[in-house]
Amino acid sequence: MAGESFVQPQAAGAVSSRKKARLVHPGFAVPFVLLVFCFAAWGSAANLTDVLVGVFRHIFTMSNFESALVQFAYYGAYFSLAIPAAMINRRWGYKTGVLTGLGLATLGGLLFLPASKLLEFAPFLVALFVLAAGLSILETSANPFAIAMGPEESATQRLNLAQAFNPVGANIGVLLGAVLILPNLTPEPAKVIMTEQQLHDSQEHDLNLVLGPYLGIAAALALIWLMIALRGMSTPAERVQESETATGGVFGRLWANRHYRYGVVAQFFNVGAQVCVWSFTIQYALDVVGVSTDHAGWYLQASLLLFLVSRFVMTYLLGIFRPTLLLFLLGALGVGLALTAMFAQSMVGLIAVVAISLSLSLMFPTIYGVALQGLGADTKFGAAGLVMAILGGALMPPIQGKIMDQAGTATAFIVPAVGLAFVTLYALFDLRTRRNSGPLVTEGGH
Amino acid sequence: MHGLAPRPLAVCVVVAVAFGVGACGKQDKNVTVGLIVKRNTNPFWVTMKDTAEQTADDDNVKLLTAAGQSDIDNRSQVAALAKMTAEGAKGIMITPADSTAIVPAIQKARAAGVTVIALDTPTDPRSAVDALYATNNEQAGELIGRYAKARAAKLGIKPKIAMLDLAPGITSGELRHQGFLKGFGITQNDPQIVGSVNTLGETGRAEDGMRKLLQKDRGINVVYTVNEPAAFGAAQALKAAGRSDDSVILVSVDGGCDAVKNGVRPGVIDATVQQYPENMARLGVDALANTARGGPKPSGYKNTGIELITRDPVSGVSSKDVAFGVRNCWG
């Protein structure tokens, strides 16, 4: 997910030893560094995809709904591959999972090459699907793999360190789009007077701009694949990860738990709102405010930086305030900002769009923790359900795109507004409901 | 350590691919060209100048720029032509403030070997310059005429037309006027026309003119305006007369950002034809740089394109939505 990274909750439990433990097992320094690059790589790819929504609309002169299918392909792949990825890890181990993910993602990046020659949208969707499928497997494997690379006592530290590179990669992804793609696209007015042949040539030129960063990502992933593949790795802690087994009736118990059930719904809308906001920030800047293509990408970059900074601030505040109280306040703020974007069709609206990232920064880990609180042995399966709520990122952007086509770019921000309203209601539900206490489950690096 | 160390070559390849760094080809020879606009305060000319500077930067062109003090400041343009020629400009783009009076100065520059392109406004005679890159104003008028007619038919109203023109003798205004009539399928003396007023393209004069026409016939329901400041003036007069936006079809030409965002988007202006000063500048710089480097001289007329911008499209008239208008507006 854009800017997010999912991790199995048991990682965070093994945290609080005061003894100074090694960060990684002997001989695992280089593999761990390579794994860190993986975290950055999927962050880059995910947020470069946010830029692509607007870029494909420009290149193929397509509707917003059609261009939003980029996210449908990307997050649809993430959703579809979550269970197969877990099966690969269970059957063959994390290293195989990481290599499979890297290999598939590399293939996806390379598929941009034929896609750019065909000058059709569909091949790009296929390439994105394959890329995201690989990244889904990579992410599912890399998180527990990072845990397994060192002593249990330093698991959270290791995971936090690795995940810290995810937002770094995310920012690099947007930077690639903002610097290498957006400013170099053929200007729209120039297309107004182009002949068929000139339009064809400009499309080819613009698609080559898209190709560059993805080939770069593919090359980097292939390099990491080689370096991991050629290293002998045995991760003793992997056995620990495998030892847990599900007990019967888990789905029934989870379904009966309203905090969990509503949590999955809230997470669906949170992820959907986040992907919607980041997918259409550039379009808001272009369509509503009239920011030039050269500069539009910087507003998405600002969103991600705000998200990153406020993550740290929220981590501090979570130690002071009740998490769902903060979730409620920031959810309400997010709704207000989305409504501002709808009605203040100006720079104020664009600033509101950027500021939504502030409220988003808290949501994923908080919903994750609250929904899983007190689930005990059902936590692992519960976590999988929350991760699969990423489906919101696949389904909500096309809805927003459709509304953009019908009612305008600003009005379509009703979609993230509704998503954030659901998150706010979930926080309110938790605040007004008594529940059995249990330790709040933390979500890895968040 | 058993892993492969990243080799420098591999790293270079990754960086090169990721950052789109191709082979560093030979850069084109640096050449000097000039741009003379009417003035530096009008957003239309500012957009033109900004685009020219950006294009020049991309094309390894040294760009000299100059502007008059007003839209009719011919003297400054004459001086700028001489100065740029003396400074070695191989080509000059000019937006003539006075189509006739500027001709001798252009002839001098051309005699010195400078290629001259008129942007936006033609010289009189047109042959005084090598080429003209401009909006087809008649086509622009025709497009809003067709739109107004189709929308009137869609709304089922019997047209009573007000025409808010520029001023007698100014070619662009006359061409837009003629184009509108053609697009609407009427002639100058058609009884559907309530009246015409000259506005000089100014909001205040347009408001006064519209008020007078409404006194003549309160039932006016189609308003042609020569540009967007005039459209805003007409809208003010209509509002003062108690007419809602929905009861009048108001059309215009230009596609400036203020009009698209605050006129077309809220429905005050039903449609406007957007023109593209950035195309004029980009094509002009490219053509002059190419000529200076030994390419062919630009010649004749190049249409720099128009699009109809509306939030209420009608069938049979090609148009773009407001989002497109905002993305590509000038100013």
Q: CA-nearest residue of chain A to B307? A: A192
B144 has a pLDDT exceeding 90: yes
B10 has a pLDDT exceeding 90: no
Question: DSSP 3-state assignment of A194?
Answer: coil
Q: For residue range B111-125, what is the model confidence (pLDDT) as tens digits?
A: 999 999 999 989 999
Considering only residues A165 and B303, tell me which one the structure prediction assigns the higher pLDDT.
B303
Interchain contact, B10 vs A223, CB within 8 Å: yes
| Model pLDDT, residue B4 | 33
Interface of B with A in 6-65 (CB under 8 A): 6, 10, 13-15, 17-20
Interchain contact, B3 vs A286, CB within 8 Å: no
Whether A182 and chain B come into contact, CB under 8 Å, resolves to no
| Model pLDDT, residue B47 | 94
Residue keyed to tokens 């197969």: A84
CA distances from A307 to A46, A178, A304, A315, A401 (A): 15, 18, 5, 12, 23
Q: Name the nearest CA neighbour of A152 among A24, A6, A5, A38.
A: A24
| Model pLDDT, residue A22 | 79
Q: Name the nearest CA neighbour of B117 among B34, B182, B41, B238.
A: B34
| Model pLDDT, residue B54 | 93
- Token output for B12: 């270079």
| Model pLDDT, residue A236 | 54
Question: DSSP 3-state assignment of A49?
Answer: helix
Q: For residue range B212-258, what is the model confidence (pLDDT) as tens digits?
A: 999 999 999 999 999 999 999 999 999 999 999 899 999 999 999 99
Q: What is the mean pLDDT of chain B?
A: 91
Q: Name the nearest CA neighbour of B182 among B123, B236, B139.
A: B139
| Model pLDDT, residue A315 | 79
Considering only residues B217 and B3, tell me which one the structure prediction assigns the higher pLDDT.
B217
Considering only residues A254 and B136, tell me which one the structure prediction assigns the higher pLDDT.
B136
ipTM: 0.84
Q: Round to whole Å and give the CA distance between B266 and B268.
A: 6
| Model pLDDT, residue A437 | 56
B160 has a pLDDT exceeding 90: yes
B196 has a pLDDT exceeding 70: yes
Low-confidence spans in chain A with pLDDT less than 50:
1-3, 5-18, 239-246, 444-446
pTM, entire model = 0.85
| Model pLDDT, residue B27 | 67
Q: How far B37 CA sits from the closest chain A CA (Å)?
A: 20
- Residue B18 confidence class, pLDDT cut points 50, 70, 90: very low
Q: Round to whole Å and give the CA distance between B142 and B273.
A: 10
Q: Round to whole Å and give the CA distance between B46 and B61.
A: 19
Which residues of chain B are within 8 Å of residue A223 when distances are taken between CB atoms? 6, 10, 14
Interface test with A, best of B9, B283, B328, B330 (most A CBs within 10 A): B328
Q: Round to whole Å and give the CA distance between B233 and B4.
A: 72
- Token output for A237: 């802690």
- Residue B104 confidence class, pLDDT cut points 50, 70, 90: very high
CA distances from A364 to A46, A258, B170 (A): 16, 18, 63
Interface of A with B in 262-321 (CB under 8 A): 283, 286-290, 293
B6 has a pLDDT exceeding 60: no
| Model pLDDT, residue A78 | 86
